[in-house]
Amino acid sequence: MTSPTIKEASLAAIDFESAGTYKGETTCPIQVGMALMKELQVQPKLFFRSYLKTECEVTWRAQKLHGISNHHLHEAPSMYTLWPEFQKRLAGRYLVAHGRGTERRFLRVFPMHGFGPWIDTLTLSRKMTPGLPSYKLEDLIVYFQLFDTLICLLPDFRWHEALSDALASLILLSHLIKEAHLSKEPIELLTQLH
């Protein structure tokens, strides 16, 4: 069976915000955001974001970073409750994240979920634009002058908010694909760069 081209592939970006780090390990997820792209076009009507119920206390440092406190999480659904949303938005799509490790680890709450394969925009950026001083998502968005695109698609965009960061990953990916004229290449070109 022939795999789709990059342009034909259905993509879903996912990002989690966490309660912080403890002993060097990222703790529980407290917010999730998902954004979809089809034929290299972002689908704003399908944006999704939610706080997540957790047993972890949100660290002071994490609160300062993303502005989410324990107060925001009182009425939040659990990850398990949101399984239908994850299934609807991620199943059968190529997953996108900037530094996929945290997102992959948090999705393990759903054993044998089968989501993926993954496209890591951090790895892709390093391979396609070597020598930049920083590969942080926000620095790449500024470097490639993509911030206005983000604001047009998501007027309440702000860094370290799960939907905003997921969308930024998609916009960065779209930019890299267009700049390198990769839209007609097989999608595996992007998934095998790990």
The reported pLDDT for the residue numbered 26 is 66
The reported pLDDT for the residue numbered 112 is 81
Summarize pLDDT for 79-100 with one digit per residue, the tens: 999 999 999 999 999 999 999 9
Mean pLDDT across the stretch 2-22? Answer: 92
% of the chain surpassing 70 pLDDT: 96
- Does position 1 have pLDDT exceeding 70, yes or no? no
* DSSP assignment of the chain: -PPPBTTTSEEEEEEEEES-EETTEE--EEEEEEEEEETTEE-GGG-EEEE---SSPPPHHHHHHH---GGGGTTPPPTTTTHHHHHHHHTTSEEEESSTHHHHHHHTTSTT-----EEEHHHHHHHHSTT-S---HHHHHHHTT-HHHHHHH-TT--TT-HHHHHHHHHHHHHHHHHHTT-TTSBTHHHHT--
Mean pLDDT across the stretch 109-125? Answer: 92
Summarize pLDDT for 30-42 with one digit per residue, the tens: 999 999 999 999 9
Which range, of 107-116, 124-133, 143-152, 176-185, averages the lowest pLDDT? 107-116
- Does position 193 have pLDDT exceeding 80, yes or no? no
Q: What is the mean pLDDT of the chain?
A: 94
Domains of the chain: 10-191 (3.30.420.10)
The reported pLDDT for the residue numbered 23 is 66
- Does position 25 have pLDDT exceeding 80, yes or no? no
The reported pLDDT for the residue numbered 194 is 62
- Does position 141 have pLDDT exceeding 90, yes or no? yes
